[in-house]
């Protein structure tokens, strides 16, 4: 469970983390992609901040929808529509339930559908799915996030730009998994 005020704090902390680590995300993406993941995400975060400052969301569904639209409209690349779909599906789900485990799983399912991808393909799903599972079993922690992120290092990418490198994609963290790790580290800080 996360109320509207805390969910807003979650998103604001996510924005801060991405803004503080934009060049790190670009560097990760330079190794196995086209070097723009940090810049893409930072553009999205600026749009999120802008949208939230213009209109205070009335409920959880509206908040997630605001994030989704900012990501879809401003991020571009593969990650924009992916994060956008995850947050849009969470927005729809938030009309039915405020259960965080359920919301994150629905977001993850949205990533899978939109990306035609699943766990083990060295994408952000490799962070979202373990986080969703740990929320369900009530053992969500920093370790869960870190272990999930670090596990992407030895994976061979089979989706996204990194998949063009085949075996050479091994030995590098997945950039989208790193930005998703910031998202869930921000959540941990709010859950306290
Ligand atoms: P682009 O690759 O278009 O430059 P970004 O660099 O912003 O886009 O985002 C790359 C990230 O998107 C990857 O690190 C990965 O986590 C994620 N990604 C790419 N393709 C997929 C997919 N099909 N399913 C899930 N996630 C994906
Ligand atoms: Mg890229
Ligand atoms: Mg790109």
Q: What's 106-157 look like in SS3?
A: HHHHHHHHHHCCCCCCCCCHHHHHHHHHHHHCCCCCHHHHHHHHHHCCCCCC
Please tell me the predicted confidence (pLDDT) of residue 76: 86
Please tell me the predicted confidence (pLDDT) of residue 1: 85
* Ligand 1: lining residues by beta carbon, under 6 Å: 29, 33-34, 36-37, 40, 77-79, 82, 111, 115, 117, 123-125, 159-161, 174-177
Give me ligand 3 centre to Cα 80, in Å.
10
Q: Going by CA atoms, what residue is nearest to atom 14 of ligand 1?
A: 176
The yes/no answer to whether this complex scores an ipTM above 0.90 is yes
Please tell me the predicted confidence (pLDDT) of residue 86: 98
> Do the beta carbons of residue 88 and residue 106 sit within 8 Å?
no
Please tell me the predicted confidence (pLDDT) of residue 123: 98
Cβ-Cβ contacts under 8 Å for 153 (sequence gap 6 or more): 170, 171, 172, 173
Give me ligand 3 centre to Cα 67, in Å.
20
Report, as ranges of residue numbers, the positions in the chain whose pLDDT lies below 70: none
3-state secondary structure of 64: helix
3-state secondary structure 73-108: HHCCCCHHHHHHHHHHHHHHHCCCCCCHHHHHHHHH
Q: How far is CA 184 from CA 32, 48, 57, 162, in A?
A: 23, 17, 21, 23
Please tell me the predicted confidence (pLDDT) of residue 129: 98
Q: Going by CA atoms, what residue is nearest to atom 13 of ligand 1?
A: 176
Name the residue of 109, 123, 162 to mutate for ligand 1: max ligand atoms within 8 A of Cβ: 123
Q: pTM for this one? A: 0.98
| The residue to which tokens 């690349």 are assigned | 77
Name the residue of 89, 176, 178 to mutate for ligand 1: max ligand atoms within 8 A of Cβ: 176
Give me ligand 2 centre to Cα 5, in Å.
32
């Amino acid at each position: 469970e996360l109320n509207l005020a805390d969910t807003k704090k979650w998103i604001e902390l996510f924005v801060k983390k991405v803004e503080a680590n934009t060049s790190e995300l670009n560097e990760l993406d330079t190794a196995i992609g086209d070097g723009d993941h940090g810049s893409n995400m930072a553009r999205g975060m600026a749009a999120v901040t802008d949208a939230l400052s213009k209109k205070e969301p009335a409920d959880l569904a509206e908040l997630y929808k605001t994030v989704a639209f900012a990501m879809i409209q401003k991020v571009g690349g593969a990650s924009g529509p992916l994060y956008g779909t995850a947050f849009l599906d969470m927005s729809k789900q938030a009309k039915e339930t405020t259960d965080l485990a359920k919301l994150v799983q629905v977001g993850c399912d949205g990533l899978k559908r939109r990306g035609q991808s699943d766990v083990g393909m060295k994408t952000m799903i490799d962070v979202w799915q373990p986080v969703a599972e740990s929320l369900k079993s009530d053992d969500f922690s920093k370790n869960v996030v870190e272990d999930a992120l670090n596990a992407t290092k030895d994976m061979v990418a089979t989706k996204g730009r990194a998949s063009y490198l085949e075996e050479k994609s091994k030995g590098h963290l997945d950039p989208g998994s790193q930005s998703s790790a910031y998202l869930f580290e921000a959540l941990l800080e709010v859950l306290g």
